[in-house]
Amino acid sequence: MGEQSFLRGGHPRGRGDFLERLLRGLLDAMDHAADAERLAAAPGLLQRLDPRLKTLGLLSLVVTAVFVKSLVALALLFACATALALASGITLRRLARQVWIGVFLFTGVLAIPAIVLVPGDAVAVVPLLDWTITRQGLRGAAFLIGRAQTAATFALLVVLTTPWPQVLKALRSLGVPLILVAILGMTHRYIFVLLESSVQLFEAKRSRVMGPLPGPQRRRLAMTSVVVLLERSLQLATEVHLAMIARGYRGEVHLLDELRTRPRDWLALAGLLSIAAVAIGWPWLPAIGDGG
């Protein structure tokens, strides 16, 4: 996506250069988005399904992960999400980088205190601090982290295996309000327009700099660039909105290729809903439920 920067492949000014690091981050973000689009168009298990039924099935599993009452069922849902990702060409490394590490760090901050704050049966004592770790606290932390990891993984599968216009079309088909879909579509589109404008702006600035900038000048440059980008984005948004209205845009999502539902799509939806039903009813299954 976008033209290649002349700064790619390293620069003699090294990692400490403010503009180079900023440009590298912007270009990495654009490359990441382009890679996600290639993945959505690649052959894979989930890529071959109708986006509407696939979204419905995966969202049902997201809801199931939130309300499931069994750790065993939650673990099975997580394993199911991982298996679907692998069958769709999404590597474990990508899942870890995009979801698992971030979600674990965020929810871990919230869950770890519960290990010692929730009263219950003591299972261990933290050395030096003399804090008691309880079984109920460990269970609550495991539920919090597991639910967040599983739900985020299923949500990522929807985005990574479906082209963005089809995601919007699927959301409209599922009854998501038109205004929300329009906001999502325009936000996604103009994030990259803004990124490309930022790259061009900073490369122009970069080409006029002969050496490393001192701290005050770097901060001044960053602030002026933010103001210029904000002004450009407001102007662009106004022009684009007027052009779309003039062409008859009313917020509805239209695709060149209409979505078609085949028997295998209904079969896949039935399979995903069956997994959700089994996970919800796991504690009541005779002999194999873990009793919640």
Q: What is the mean pLDDT of residues 179-199?
A: 79
Q: Domain containing 80: what range?
A: 19-31+44-274
Whether 97 is covered by a domain: the verdict is: yes
State whether the Cα torsion 89-46-149-285 is positive or negative. Answer: negative
pLDDT at 93: 92
Beta bridge partners of 132: 125
What is the number of domains present in the chain?
A: 1
Interior angle at CA 158, CA 91 and CA 173, nearest 5: 165
The SS3 assignment for 124 reads: strand
Identity of the residue numbered 180:
L
The answer to the question of residue 180 being in a domain is yes
Q: Could you tell me if residue 14 is inside a domain? A: no
In a domain, 269, yes or no: yes
Q: Which helix (H) or strand (E) holds 64?
A: helix 51-67
The mean pLDDT of 263-288, rounded to a whole number, is 84
Q: What's the whole-number mean pLDDT along residues 276-291?
A: 71
3 within a domain of the structure (yes/no): no
Residue 169 lies in a domain: yes
Q: Per-residue pLDDT tens for 9-47? A: 444 444 456 666 777 777 777 777 778 788 888 888 998
Reported confidence tier of residue 125, pLDDT bands at 50, 70, 90: confident
Q: Is 242 inside any structural domain?
A: yes
In a domain? residue 10: no
List, for residues 236-249, the tens digit of each pLDDT value. 878 877 887 787 77
